[in-house]
Structures are given as C-alpha cells and as structure tokens.
Amino acid sequence: MFRRITENDWELYRRYADTFYHTDAVNAPVPVENYRATFDEMLRSDTYVRGYIFEYEGTPCGFALLSKTFSQEAGGISITIEEIYIDPEYRSKGLATEFFEWLKNESCAMRLRLEVEDYNKGAMRLYERMGFELLPYLQMVIDRQRQEKKHDENV
C-alpha cells in the first residue's frame, strides 16, 4: 500500500531520502536542505513534485518521489519516478508493482520515465516487467549546485 506524503511525514521522508541517497542506486548524496525544499514543495502544490510513503501492514517501509512535466514528444504529461526506495526486508512483497500499476492506470501521464544504474539488475528486471524500455540515448545536465561546488573547490 502507499499513500500521499503529509505535513506530518517530514522525519519519515527525511530518513528515507537520506537512506536512498546513501545507497549504490545513486551517484552521490544530496544536501539535507534539498530534501527540505522538496518536502516543502510537495506540501505547497503537486504542480512539480508529489511524494508517497509505502506501508506494509501499517508499517512505513519506503517512499517514492514523482515529478511532472509536459512532453511534446509524448503528447502530454510525463511523470518521472525520481526516486523509489523500499526497505530491503519489505521488497518482493508487491509494493513497487502495485505502485507502478496504479501509475500506469490511474495517472494522466502519457509517459512514465525513470533512471536506473546499469548495475542495478534487480531493479532493471522489475522495470522491464512493468513495461519500461531502455532509452537509446544519454542525458546531459547543467546542475547549478555541482557547478558552484566545483567553483568553490577551485578558489
């Protein structure tokens, strides 16, 4: 089961975001201030970001973070699964499958998108079973926080 994040979930969200960003599923941790900015944006509006807490038999066990854009290529709303994390002891209980099925069937999205590290074979198998396909191109970014950090290190 999963539910929308509420204002009472800050500590739970912070803990799961921090756990996620200290796994090998990501390249580097992010500052706690970023968690707070994301959490505040989730409470302010669901225009850009929406968060969910996973629960198993009433026990919190993970989270998911979605962002939304409009894609001309897809012909409508594109939802990116920015983060999804489930505590190891609660994996393989159908929580992620239920969440992805709900997203595919209940959201207004014309496209669902996510990122996965190529060595995360278990996640890749799940995503492929859910219908995700590998994209044949690389993404590039300009990340202001990384640029500022590099600049500060060179000064």
Per-residue pLDDT tens digits for 39-92: 999 999 989 999 999 999 999 999 999 999 999 999 999 999 999 999 999 999
Q: Which two tokens stand for residue 68?
A: 């939304």
pTM of structure: 0.89
Identify whether the C-beta of residue 85 lies closer than 8 Å to the C-beta of residue 19: yes
Selection from 91, 87, 154, 77 nearest residue 125 by Cα: 91
Q: What domains lie within the chain, and their CATH numbers?
A: 2-154 (3.40.630.30)
Q: How far apart are CA 99 and CA 54, in angstroms?
A: 9
Q: What CA–CA distance (Å, rounded) separates 33 from 38? A: 9
Phi, psi values for residue 7, rounded to 5°:
-60, -20
Q: What is the mean pLDDT of the chain?
A: 92
